[in-house]
């Protein structure tokens, strides 16, 4: 867990003082909305459909208990008692009043949290693997590097007015849990001999024009990383189109410039910039020292084994929600925020407090937020799991559905978002509730459904095994389905099945898809994605659009 320095604290305090004055001037009528809007966006404050929304960064998805408790305090004191964890590991508060926002930011700063660069055409919150520092398959914890990039990019004078927003993800594991290929820059840690570095993937992104990133450089050694990143973004800053917002992301720059030409320009700029940050390795070791890896005492697993044998509810949860820890006597716990019928990613203040308490009690004071909108306790001893599970159960936090059909990513959609063209939350709720009724989800197995309420794709629908996109077609909510998307190291973009479905048709359509899948899979181990990759669109299309098939289902 990273502990901020005095410099970080002073910086946050001065930023908040500045924003407080800007809010006062806006309320006093000394700033117009046009003048104020970019200032509030730089501090994460949006105006949504029904209220302001404050987006608070959770850098690389890591929180300690004090920070989680503070989020709960903010929800209670200034909001409506809940928050929404997003697909970029942030949290959004949906109801702050403008006058209260400077106080909220001061409260957050007490625990080193902030909303800087969670909006606007800047380098956004650096995201990472939510199992970082705990995963058995990891080369090294990517978060010190993510923190280095956060510090470099925060208030970077050259990159405050980029052509468009810029998203960076970092992973230290060959298993890609950070969707690196769908980011403006994705960094994958690689070891060459004794040297650590990164593969640099550029120009991925979802949204209106989904693209999978290209490897711009196969290996950048760690001491060169900031120089190389600076080279990529400065070239983009010059080339990126400012005439058309829809063509302004680096994926379009790469597409229009050509991969070879862009690579050459970046290399030329890199040659000029090399050595710009001679202190970066010292800064990195200073940061690494501030990431205190927990001391995990050796533990038994007798209690765990006994509980699994005796308690089928615990066993089902353990089978679904645990991931292998680098230590055999510990586990990574994913706490599902997707209870059947709940709003994906929402947590009440009471749930946040409980999670903070449990992290203190059982989890080395560490929590993570995943881009899949769940909360992770990364270091829990196997023998503490039965007690943890028992504490989660009454709080609605013990749903055994991680990675299953009801573990749905959904953006806020038209329930909140000013950009949305349709609702996504109630679609997610209805699908989860329906498959819970059918008692099928464990039989269906690994399946990722991702729902976006507009073309901007915050719900990552392009990389869902089943993606759902809500659109406004002639004043009616309409849902398009894509199949075969994948956000991991085997990234692929989903393919559209055909015409969309009305709001009341979408759940039955998903049901027909699933019936088709279970009918054609070779065995229960063949996942939906594997079946789709083997058979292609045909059986699913027939299930969706062929009247006979739909009658049979």
Partner 1 sequence: MARKAYAQVVTGNALLEGHVVYLTAQGTWSTALTDAEILRDEADAQLRLLSAMAQAATVVGAYLADVDPDAASPKPLHFREAFRRDGPGHYVYPAGRI
Segment near partner 1 (CB under 8 A); pick from 20-28, 244-252, 327-335, 398-406: 20-28
472 binds partner 1 (CB under 8 A): yes
Q: How far is the CB of 36 from partner 1 (least distance, A)?
A: 9
Instruction: Name the residue among 163, 57, 59 with its Cα closest to residue 119.
Output: 57
* Residue with Cβ nearer partner 1 (216 or 422): 422
* Residue with Cβ nearer partner 1 (354 or 380): 354
Cβ atoms of residues 311 and 387 within 8 Å = no
Phi, psi at 301, each rounded to 5°: -135, 25
Give the SS3 label for residue 337: coil
Give the span between the Cα atoms of 343 and 412, in whole angstroms.
Answer: 9
Site string for partner 1, 330-349 (x = CB under 8 A): -------------x--x-x-
Segment near partner 1 (CB under 8 A); pick from 138-146, 210-218, 415-423, 461-469: 415-423
3-state secondary structure 158-178: HHCCCCCCECEEEECCCCCCC
32 binds partner 1 (CB under 8 A): yes
Instruction: Name the residue among 48, 142, 157, 138 with its Cα closest to residue 96.
Output: 48
* Residue with Cβ nearer partner 1 (79 or 230): 79
| Location of structure tokens 């050694």 | 221
* Residue with Cβ nearer partner 1 (29 or 297): 29
Give the span between the Cα atoms of 549 and 544, in whole angstroms.
Answer: 8
Among 94, 121, 180, 280, contact with partner 1 (rule: CB under 8 A)? 94
Among 9, 21, 97, 306, contact with partner 1 (rule: CB under 8 A)? 97
Q: How far is the CB of 56 from partner 1 (least distance, A)?
A: 17
Among 2, 16, 19, 26, contact with partner 1 (rule: CB under 8 A)? 26
414 binds partner 1 (CB under 8 A): yes
Q: How far is the CB of 434 from partner 1 (least distance, A)?
A: 17
Burial code (b: 16+ CB inside 10 Å, e: under 16) for 309-319 equals: eeeeebebbbe
| Location of structure tokens 């969670």 | 118
Pairing of strands 185-192, 466-472: unpaired
* Residue with Cβ nearer partner 1 (52 or 545): 52
Q: What is the CA radius of gyration of the chain?
A: 23
Site string for partner 1, 114-153 (x = CB under 8 A): ----------------------------------------
Name the CA dihedral angle for 265, 267, 272, 276, rounded to a multiple of 10 degrees.
120
Q: How far is the CB of 495 from partner 1 (least distance, A)?
A: 28
Q: How far is the CB of 133 from partner 1 (least distance, A)?
A: 29
Segment near partner 1 (CB under 8 A); pick from 95-103, 298-306, 380-388, 506-514: 95-103
Name the CA dihedral angle for 272, 275, 281, 283, rounded to a multiple of 10 degrees.
-90
Name the CA dihedral angle for 3, 4, 6, 8, rounded to a multiple of 10 degrees.
180
Give the SS3 label for residue 493: coil
Q: How far is the CB of 339 from partner 1 (least distance, A)?
A: 10
Burial group, residue 322, by CB count within 10 angstroms (0-12, 13-18, 19+): middle
Among 126, 148, 354, 543, contact with partner 1 (rule: CB under 8 A)? 354
Among 393, 395, 530, 537, contact with partner 1 (rule: CB under 8 A)? 395
Cβ atoms of residues 116 and 109 within 8 Å = no
Among 425, 431, 463, 513, contact with partner 1 (rule: CB under 8 A)? 425
Site string for partner 1, 50-89 (x = CB under 8 A): xxx---------------------------xxx-------
502 binds partner 1 (CB under 8 A): no
423 binds partner 1 (CB under 8 A): yes
Token pair belonging to 127:
């995201």
Cβ atoms of residues 225 and 208 within 8 Å = no
* Residue with Cβ nearer partner 1 (54 or 529): 54
Instruction: Name the residue among 74, 81, 189, 193 with its Cα closest to residue 129.
Output: 189
21 binds partner 1 (CB under 8 A): no
Q: How far is the CB of 69 from partner 1 (least distance, A)?
A: 15
Using CB under 8 A as the binding criterion, the count of chain residues that bind partner 1 stands at 41
* Residue with Cβ nearer partner 1 (324 or 361): 361
Cβ atoms of residues 507 and 427 within 8 Å = yes
DSSP lists the bridge partners of residue 410 as 451
Q: How far is the CB of 518 from partner 1 (least distance, A)?
A: 30
25 binds partner 1 (CB under 8 A): no
E-strand spans in 138-256? 168-171, 185-192, 195-202, 214-221
Among 224, 477, 486, 511, contact with partner 1 (rule: CB under 8 A)? 477
* Residue with Cβ nearer partner 1 (210 or 453): 453
* Residue with Cβ nearer partner 1 (370 or 429): 429
Query: Beta-carbon neighbour count of residue 32 at 10 Å?
Result: 9
Contact residues: partner 1, CB under 8 A: 26-29, 32-33, 47-52, 80-82, 94-99, 343, 346, 348, 350-351, 354, 394-396, 414-416, 423, 425-426, 429, 472, 475-477
């Amino acid at each position: 867990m990273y502990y901020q320095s005095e410099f970080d604290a002073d910086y946050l305090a001065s930023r908040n003082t500045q924003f407080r004055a800007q809010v006062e001037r806006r309320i006093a009528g000394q700033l117009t909305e046009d003048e104020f809007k970019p200032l509030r966006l730089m501090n994460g404050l949006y105006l949504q459909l029904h209220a302001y929304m404050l987006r608070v960064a959770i850098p690389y998805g890591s929180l300690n208990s004090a920070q989680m408790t503070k989020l709960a305090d903010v929800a209670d004191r200034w909001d409506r008692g809940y928050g929404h964890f997003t697909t970029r590991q942030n949290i959004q508060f949906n109801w702050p009043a403008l006058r209260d926002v400077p106080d909220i930011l001061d409260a957050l700063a007490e625990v080193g949290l902030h909303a800087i660069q969670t909006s606007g055409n800047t380098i956004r919150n650096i995201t990472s693997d939510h199992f970082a520092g705990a995963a058995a398959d990891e080369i090294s914890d990517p978060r010190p590097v993510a923190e280095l990039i956060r510090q470099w990019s925060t208030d970077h004078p050259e990159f405050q007015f980029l052509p468009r927003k810029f998203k960076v993800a970092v992973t230290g594991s060959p298993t890609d849990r950070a969707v690196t290929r769908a980011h403006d820059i994705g960094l994958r840690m690689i070891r060459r001999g004794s040297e650590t570095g990164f593969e640099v993937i550029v120009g991925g992104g979802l949204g209106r024009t989904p693209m999978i990133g290209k490897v711009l450089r196969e290996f950048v050694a760690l001491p060169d990383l900031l120089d190389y990143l600076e080279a990529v973004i400065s070239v983009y800053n010059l080339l990126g189109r400012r005439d058309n917002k829809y063509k302004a992301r680096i994926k379009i720059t790469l597409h229009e410039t050509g991969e070879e030409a862009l690579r050459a320009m970046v290399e030329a700029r890199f040659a000029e910039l090399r050595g710009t940050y001679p202190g970066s390795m010292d800064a990195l070791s200073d940061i690494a020292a501030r990431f205190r890896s927990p001391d995990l005492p050796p533990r038994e697993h007798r209690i765990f084994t006994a509980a699994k044998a005796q308690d089928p509810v615990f066993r089902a949860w353990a089978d679904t929600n645990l991931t292998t820890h680098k230590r055999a006597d510990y586990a990574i716990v994913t706490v599902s925020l997707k209870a059947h019928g709940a709003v994906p990613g929402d947590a009440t203040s009471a749930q946040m407090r409980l999670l903070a308490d449990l992290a203190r009690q059982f989890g080395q004071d560490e929590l993570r937020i995943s881009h899949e909108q769940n909360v992770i306790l990364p270091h829990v001893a196997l023998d503490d799991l039965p007690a943890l599970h028992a504490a989660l159960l009454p709080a609605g936090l013990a749903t055994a559905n991680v990675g299953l059909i009801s573990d749905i990513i959904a953006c806020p959609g038209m329930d909140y978002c000013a950009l949305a063209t349709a609702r996504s939350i109630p679609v997610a709720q209805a699908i989860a509730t329906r498959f819970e009724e059918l008692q099928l989800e464990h039989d269906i197995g690994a399946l990722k459904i991702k729902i976006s309420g507009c073309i901007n794709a915050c719900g990552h629908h392009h990389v869902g095994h089943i993606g759902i996109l809500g659109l406004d077609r002639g004043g009616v909510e309409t849902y398009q389905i894509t199949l075969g998307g994948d956000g991991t190291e085997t990234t692929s973009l989903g393919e559209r099945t055909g015409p969309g479905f009305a709001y009341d048709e979408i759940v039955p359509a998903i049901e027909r898809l699933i019936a088709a899948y279970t009918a054609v899979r070779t065995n229960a181990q063949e996942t939906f994605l594997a079946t789709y990759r083997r058979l292609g669109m045909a059986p699913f299309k027939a299930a969706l659009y062929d009247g006979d098939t739909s009658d049979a289902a």
